[in-house]
């Protein structure tokens, strides 16, 4: 059996185990969300001028199970695939590699009126086993793009495991009629074989509610302190290094969403600074998410609930 087949089976087995690990008595589906990130969602660029570099695509399916008690306790599972392309137009020694990441996360949440906490872990695979190159090639063929160069250099096959932790606080919102405005801060941490980093994300959120209809917006400024990132530097155990990681990464995020009853639609934009020293361009990507279920979970910040590229 090839290494890529073994890696895929590890991810599939982990997905089944994570869902089954939550006690049967608590298996009430609280929320489901489908999220897609892609440079094609950069609406401010001309359609044919939209970039295809750095973090260029992500597909994520998130489910959460738990009770309806307060404070809310739930268990979330996310299955996803991320795709990364070289930054610079012409391949050179001073460029990030092609990379893919097929993964599953399992995270326990505790949510109340003034605090949110998330603790969990992940398992996944990089390289050919992530199916990222095949996914990108098929999407480009469907979109009529003829430029499908072979993925070289590429982050090699490697099974990745790690732990994640999130905790956030926010002040009581200021309310004026149907509108509310609040501020908060989130602390983020990832320790594993594909990423080692810590971060802080002050944020501001506004919402307007009329009965079952709600309009929300959130802006956040992330400061990420990074010690390792396989999608930039290369696999931890491969012995091959591509570029030098910038230890401090600044990132801005904007999210807007509409909710009607239990249904939510969101659009988000993230602007990232330089990820490695020889990077010529900063990068901005965007995405869409459709969710159903408990508002407190479908409206969690993207960087809090979902795998952060």
Tens digit of pLDDT for each residue in 163-182?
A: 999 999 988 889 888 999 99
Question: pLDDT confidence of 237, banded at 50, 70, 90?
Answer: confident
Q: What is the pLDDT of residue 7?
A: 52
Task: Tell me the pLDDT of the chain averaged across its residues.
Answer: 83
Question: pLDDT confidence of 48, banded at 50, 70, 90?
Answer: low
Average of per-residue pLDDT across 120-129: 92
Tell me phi and psi for residue 48, to 5 degrees: -85, -5
Angle at CA of residue 78, ends 119 and 145, nearest 5°: 135
Tens digit of pLDDT for each residue in 22-45?
A: 454 456 888 899 999 987 777 776
Average of per-residue pLDDT across 256-261: 93
Residue whose structure tokens are 């009430």? 28
How far is it, in rounded angstroms, from Cα 102 to Cα 135? 11
H or E stretch covering 134: helix 132-143
Q: What is the pLDDT of residue 140?
A: 74
Q: What is the pLDDT of residue 38?
A: 82
Tens digit of pLDDT for each residue in 202-219?
A: 999 999 999 889 999 999
Q: Which two tokens stand for residue 124?
A: 């996944």
Q: Which two tokens stand for residue 271?
A: 């602007």
Under 8 Å between Cβ of 207 and 214: yes
Instruction: Give the range among 62-76, 84-98, 101-115 with minimum mean pLDDT.
Output: 84-98
Q: What is the pLDDT of residue 25?
A: 40
Average of per-residue pLDDT across 79-105: 81
CATH code of the domain covering residue 225: 2.40.128.140
Q: For the chain, what is the domain count? A: 1
Q: What is the pLDDT of residue 88?
A: 59
Residue-range definition of the domain harbouring residue 84: 3-305
């Amino acid at each position: 059996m090839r290494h890529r087949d073994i890696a895929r089976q590890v991810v599939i087995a982990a997905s089944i185990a994570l869902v089954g690990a939550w006690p049967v008595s608590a298996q009430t589906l609280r929320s489901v969300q489908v999220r897609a990130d892609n440079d094609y969602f950069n609406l401010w660029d001309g359609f044919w001028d939209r970039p295809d570099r750095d973090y260029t695509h992500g597909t994520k399916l998130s489910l959460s199970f738990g009770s309806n008690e307060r404070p809310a306790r739930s268990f979330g599972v996310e299955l996803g695939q991320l795709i990364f392309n070289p930054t610079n137009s012409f391949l050179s020694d001073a460029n990030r590699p092609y990379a893919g990441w097929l993964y599953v996360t399992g995270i326990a949440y505790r949510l109340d009126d003034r605090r949110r906490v998330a603790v969990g872990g992940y398992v996944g695979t990089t390289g050919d086993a992530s199916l990222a190159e095949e996914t990108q090639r098929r999407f480009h063929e469907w979109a009529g793009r003829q430029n499908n160069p072979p993925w070289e250099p590429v982050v090699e096959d490697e099974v990745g495991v790690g732990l994640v932790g999130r905790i956030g606080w926010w002040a009581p919102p200021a309310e004026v009629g149907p509108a509310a405005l609040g501020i908060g801060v989130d602390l983020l941490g990832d320790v594993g074989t594909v990423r080692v980093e810590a971060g802080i994300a002050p944020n501001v959120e506004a919402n307007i509610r009329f009965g079952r209809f709600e309009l929300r917006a959130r802006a956040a400024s992330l400061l990420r302190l990074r010690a390792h990132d396989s999608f930039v530097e290369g696999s931890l155990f491969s012995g091959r290094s591509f570029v030098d990681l910038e230890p401090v990464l600044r990132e801005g995020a904007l999210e807007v969403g509409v909710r009607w009853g239990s249904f939510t639609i969101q659009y988000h934009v993230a602007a990232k600074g330089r990820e490695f020293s020889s990077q010529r361009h900063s990068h901005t990507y965007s995405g869409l998410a459709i969710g159903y279920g408990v508002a407190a979970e479908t409206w969690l910040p993207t960087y809090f609930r979902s795998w952060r590229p």
